[in-house]
Structure 1
Amino acid sequence: MTTTIFGSGEHQYRLDEGWGRLPDGWMLGDVAAVGVDGKDNVYVFHRGEHPMIVFDRDGNFLRSWGEDIFNRPHGISMGPDDTIFCTDDGDHTMRQLTLDGKVLMTLGYPGKPSAYQSGQPFNRCTHTAHAPNGDFYVSDGYGNARVHKYAPDGRHILSWGEPGTDPGQFNLPHNLVCDEDGYVYVADRENHRIQVFDGNGKYVAQWNNLHRPSGLYMTRGKCPICFIGEIGPYLRANFGWPNVGPRVSILSYEGTLLARIGTVPSAGTGPGQFISPHGIAADSRGDIYVGEVSYTGWPSLFPNEPIPEGLRCLQKFVKIETPQSAAPEEK
């Protein structure tokens, strides 16, 4: 039996089809975000009856939580000291929780958004990221064009950004990550770019070889790799165009394209295809987990077709060791 290989060069993967076994009668809704803890347990934040579902790396169900906490799951990031940060764009809140779902901190006012495009936190906040010194950032979001910086105890430090297309402006800051030098990478989705800032919001650079970057994950260490889930074209003007997604792109920390996963035409439910890759994470072995908001994306991509029952919203791609990736680093 031939195994289909996705990606290229040092970044090649095989699909672990059907990964993630749920209890009988359960099903996944739109998977907004995925996170991986230090034990390679996988946290799947989805829009369903059991918002946070936890699997081990082999796909065995471990537990669920969040049933009485979340309104509309959107983003998660793994914080320091075995905590998890969850953004809820329907509730306009960011919560820090233990790995078993105990709330430690809440920012924002549940159910009460700030004024639209006021710049004040939060109006449909989207994601969080953690600086090396313990500070964290919140992207905000669908109803704002801002990034907010906080101290570890939740004290607001500063904010930056405004609506627009110039450097430092945003058209839906949808996701963000930090590297170990403290730079902040923001998925400026509807401007089709990643913007790079220093820790105080000073513009540094941008990457433009992307289409609607939505999911965002960066590996640890020096010279990290960035995984980007890109949403495909929904507009009638470019609907169905090849080579613009949906797909997963793998870039260097300098923005150089290293590989892509996604067949052409890429929108679909076949192996290696995507509907709407919204959240992404990698484990310690380099395997990639991609969460998709497939139920939300389907009507835009396939307007004349009914939504299939049990639509796939989660995929795992297993890293294949290549001669290049397995070779020891030169001293």
Structure 2
Amino acid sequence: MNSRRKFIQNSSLLGLAMSIKPDFSLFAAQDQILGHGDFKYKIDPTWGNLDPAKVPVVNCHEMVMDRKGRMIMLTDEAKNNVIIYDQAGKLLDTWTLNLDRAHGLSIVDEGDAEYLWVVDNGGRVLKTTLSGTIVAEIASPLSEGIYEEKMRWVPTETAVAPNGDLYIADGYGSQYFLQYDKNGNFIRKFGGPGQGDSQFSTAHGIAVDQRGGKEPTLLCTSRGHNSFKRFTLDGNYLETIFLPGAFVCRPVIHGENLFAGVCWSRLRYLEQTDNSGFVTILNKDNKVVSNPGGTAPEYRDGQLQLMVQSEPVFKHCHDVCIDQDENIYVCQWNAGKTYPIKLTRV
């Protein structure tokens, strides 16, 4: 009887531990250095872990940092779509829009206040205050005559240009990027499905690139093409940044560098294994300089070689957020309802 009681007790403790953090590989890797060159990191395996009975998550889709240094994360758990942390990983606040497909999160500073753009794969694109009050919503392009009947509308991401124009990526729908002015009036769409330079396969993310003091341009994800594609703010194609083997999500600009979560690496995608993806970092010249969790970047005759996951640490890296100390916070999709992973730069 005592042995049975002890077995049940130990099983219960193990179950509790797994509900809090089911991926024990993080603890095994906590002393391991991930990354390459000047961009190396250690894992903080306990950062941001919460009680899933009180603050549950499904997928930790995206994260942004506000001007107070708070980390604001979006999940598709309708009980608490937004979870706000301090940089020590302590819970500050939660709120919800009751969205069960919440996917994209962008932050914009309008001077008087900061606002969030929240994208739900169910077709909603919402502008909110940092406390969750809805202040604007973009109507479906189907209802506005922008899309033809039966075209799919499954938006994934937004970005805001310096003049206030809003860009929406229809990454799981019809593969277009839609541009609106600051008042929500439709201007144009560009992209669409296909294999051409200006066409997309999973137009998942978008960011405004102003690095180096250059004129702002748009970096647009074409995940199925393992690439970012650069466009003018008017939707004209400029170039492709090819990242062989890497199914990249949205581009994230920090300083002179470009960061992205890789949801799958090519070999893991083909094998359909649980552990997949890594983080990729590009310099100001858009050359890959580090792949935390992935193989070291290699160029031959100027051509980037195939990149794959090398360490089974991550499960489908969906987004990254970079703080003022160059630490990386990794949000994951299809990762066992785990919380974000902090990579501390070393």
TM-score by length of 2: 0.77
Q: Find the counterpart in structure 2 of residue 43 from structure 1.
A: 72
Post-superposition Cα deviations, 1:233-291, rounded to whole Å, max 9, x if no partner, equal 588983179xx9511100124320111111578488x6xx1111112211122111111
Two-structure CA RMSD over aligned residues (Å): 3.1
- Matched residue SS, 1:174: coil
Corresponding position: 1:227 with 2:267: no
Tell me which residue corresponds to 1:124: 154
Give the corresponding residue for 2:43. 15
Give the Cα–Cα distance (whole angstroms) in 2 for the partners of residues 236 and 14 of structure 1. Answer: 23
Could you say which residue in structure 2 is the equivalent of 1:209? 243
Letter in 2 for 1:255: N
- 1:35 to 1:116, Cα distance in 2 relative to 1, 3 A: same
Change (3 A) 1:144 1:41: same
After superposition, the Cα gap between the structure-2 partners of 1:55 and 1:119, relative to the gap in structure 1 and judged at 3 Å, is farther
Identical columns (%): 23
- Kept after mapping to 2: 8 A contact 1:114/1:123: no
Would the aligned equivalents of 2:332 and 2:340 in 1 still touch at CA under 8 Å? Answer: yes
3-state DSSP of counterpart to 1:261: coil
| Correspondence 1:239 to 2:268 | no
Structure 1 residues 115 and 144, CA, compared in 2 at 3 Å: closer, same or farther? farther
Q: Is the 8 A contact 2:59 2:337 kept in 1?
A: no
- 1:184–1:291 Cα change, 3 Å: same
Name the residue aligned to 1:6: 34
CA contact (8 A) 2:277 2:293 kept: yes
* Aligned-partner SS, 2:224: helix
Contact 2:157 2:206 in 1 (8 A): yes
Q: Give the match's secondary structure for 1:212.
A: strand
Specify every segment of 5 or more residues in structure 1 that has no aligned partner in the other structure, as ranges.
Answer: 296-309, 321-331
Spell out the pairing of 1:27-106 with structure 2 (5 A cutoff).
27-48=56-77, 49-68=79-98, 70-81=99-110, 82-90=114-122, 92-106=123-137
Letter of the 2:242 counterpart: N
The residue that corresponds to 2:285 in the other structure is 254
Which residue identity is paired with 1:187? T
Aligned to 1:312: 338
Q: How does 1:278-293 map to 2 (within 5 A)?
A: 278-293=318-333
Query: Cα–Cα, structure 1 residues 127 and 66, in superposed 2: closer, same or farther, change >3 Å?
Result: same
Q: Given the alignment of the two structures, is residue 146 of structure 1 paired with residue 194 of structure 2, yes or no?
A: no
The aligned residue for residue 233 of structure 2 is 199
| Conserved? CA contact 1:93–1:122, under 8 Å | no
Q: Which runs of 4+ in 1 moved over 6 A?
A: 112-117, 119-122, 234-237
Output the CA distance in 1 between the equivalents of 2:121 and 2:232: 25
Q: 1:227, CA displacement in angstroms?
A: 0.7
Read off the aligned partner of 1:251 and give its amino acid letter. L
Question: Residue 294 of structure 1: SS of its match in structure 2?
Answer: coil
Kept after mapping to 1: 8 A contact 2:121/2:156? yes
Structure of greater Rg: 2
Q: Give deviations 1:24-51, integer Å, cap 9, x for gaps.
A: 7233211111111111211111121211
Q: Distance in 2 between matches of 1:119 and 1:79?
A: 32
Alignment-mate amino acid for residue 80 of structure 2: H
Q: Deviations over 1:170-210 (max 9, x none)?
A: 11100111022321001101111110011111111111124
Find the aligned partners of 2:251 and 2:149 in 1 and give their Cα distance.
23
Distance in 1 of aligned mates of 2:144 and 2:333:
25
* Distance across 2 between alignment mates of 1:113 and 1:195: 29
Distance in 2 of aligned mates of 1:113 and 1:18:
45
8 Å Cα contact 2:56/2:80 also seen in 1? no
